[in-house]
Amino acid sequence: MTPVEPPWALLAELTHGCPLHCAYCSNPVELVRRNRELDTETWCQVMGQAGRLGVVQTHISGGEPLLRPDLPQIVAAADAAGIHTQLVTSGIGLDAARLGALTDAGLRSVQLSVQHSDAQASDRIAGRRRSFADKARAAAVVREAGLPLGLNVVLHRDNLDALDAIVGLGLDWGADRIELANAQFYGWALLNRNQLLPSIGQLECARESVEAWRTRLGGRTELVWVVPDYFDGTAKPCMGGWGAVSLTVAPDGTVLPCPAAAALPGLDPLTVRERSLEWIWRDSPAFNAYRGTGWMADPCRSCERRDIDFGGCRCQAYALTGDAARTDPACRLAPDHPLLRGIVSEGALGAPSPAVPRSFRTAAGRGGRV
């Protein structure tokens, strides 16, 4: 058996609490309630275990991690474990004092989200008034502190046409890196897929804009284009392979091969309360379920790209076919690819109802399930 290499990245979802209500959120519809979150001491232990396991980078995320008053202690524990920490935030609540405490604790970089280049549109998509102004202030505070700033923008039908202005905004705010992330359909985004799916024309224009910006910028600011795999005919190498480079710890301590895997039936992931991070990573059935290529059926089993894209995304295969072990329908060679083509053309017709805003209240209203 091939030895299991250590992971290099940990996504630490400290909380599912969030001041925003974005319909494209990839958090599970069944949000973890605040009273079920891990306490400070356990998160600090998780960081220590992650460092010993070999993790070199953690994305401290949520929900909104700034909702945790103990954030500096958790960052300090990660830093003490030799892990590079990046805060992934909406920017709501990030002022100079808060950022100062985090940088003193060892925070190395910040990734800030924004929903649109236009303040009103951004507030509408985020479901919170004046959130754009808060984000602009947060960006300024990060720049003043001299930390690297990444801007993350989830792209969908409602903002793709503003791509030029969005890149312009990122440059105005002093971003070192702008991540143009076409919406991926998990959790709330899957629930709201028909409201979010763009048209092929929108995507083509946006792609051309990105190329033009790259030429103009000449590498001075990094522009990342996260591929819209529903449209491309190719499967993405999701998470760099299942249990290959990264692990996620959910707010209640559940350890997952990816943030969306909580929705997979029969996976039975363990929590950090039950076993060590190292045992879960190397030996747990959940992490070994789709590791490597041995689990694959045809067409992936005999495909020359199986070590490049790992058969695509297991969560997407489950969401679209009900079987996580099937070839991701995003791949044009997948037997289920026509299903995806149908969804894309249906999406082009527009959605009959408004999107469901992400919140604990709307989650409860749906019994926490899609």
**Does position 267 bind ligand FES by CB under 6 A?**
no
**Does position 238 bind ligand FES by CB under 6 A?**
yes
Q: According to the annotation, is 331 in a ligand binding site?
A: no
Among 178, 169, 174, smallest CA distance to 145 is for 174
**Does position 314 bind ligand FES by CB under 6 A?**
yes
Judged by CB under 6 A, the residue of 289, 313, 330, 340 near ligand FES is 313
Stretch that binds ligand SF4, among 96-104, 160-168, 183-191, 326-334 (CB under 6 A): 326-334
**Does position 193 bind ligand FES by CB under 6 A?**
no
Judged by CB under 6 A, the residue of 258, 286, 303, 320 near ligand FES is 258
Longest dimension (CA), the chain: 56
Stretch that binds ligand FES, among 67-75, 225-233, 296-304, 307-315 (CB under 6 A): 307-315
356 phi/psi in degrees, rounded to 5: -90, 120
Question: Closest distance between ligand SF4 and the C-beta of residue 299, in Å?
Answer: 4
**Does position 260 bind ligand FES by CB under 6 A?**
yes
Judged by CB under 6 A, the residue of 147, 169, 315, 330 near ligand FES is 315
The answer to whether 292 and 298 are in contact (CB under 8 A) is: no
**Does position 300 bind ligand FES by CB under 6 A?**
no
Stretch that binds ligand SF4, among 59-67, 102-110, 269-277, 300-308 (CB under 6 A): 300-308
**Does position 25 bind ligand FES by CB under 6 A?**
no
Q: According to the annotation, is 205 in a ligand binding site?
A: no
**Does position 105 bind ligand FES by CB under 6 A?**
no
Tell me the residue type at 339.
Answer: L
How far CA 232 is from CA of 128, 203, 228, 314, in Å, comes to 33, 10, 6, 17
Stretch that binds ligand FES, among 2-10, 128-136, 258-266, 347-355 (CB under 6 A): 258-266
**Does position 203 bind ligand FES by CB under 6 A?**
no
Distance CA 202, CA 215 (A): 20
What are 87's strand-pairing partners? 60, 110
Question: Closest distance between ligand SF4 and the C-beta of residue 246, in Å?
Answer: 19
Stretch that binds ligand SF4, among 59-67, 240-248, 267-275, 298-306 (CB under 6 A): 298-306
Judged by CB under 6 A, the residue of 272, 309, 315, 326 near ligand SF4 is 309
The answer to whether 190 and 24 are in contact (CB under 8 A) is: no
Closer by beta carbon to ligand SF4, 37 or else 229 = 229
Among 59, 67, 102, 101, smallest CA distance to 83 is for 59
Distance CA 18, CA 24 (A): 13
Q: According to the annotation, is 22 in a ligand binding site?
A: yes
Footprint on this chain of ligand FES (rule: CB under 6 A): 186, 238-239, 258, 260-261, 313-316
Footprint on this chain of ligand SF4 (rule: CB under 6 A): 235, 299-300, 303, 305-306, 309, 311-312, 327-328, 331, 333
Annotated binding site for [4Fe-4S] cluster: 18, 22, 25
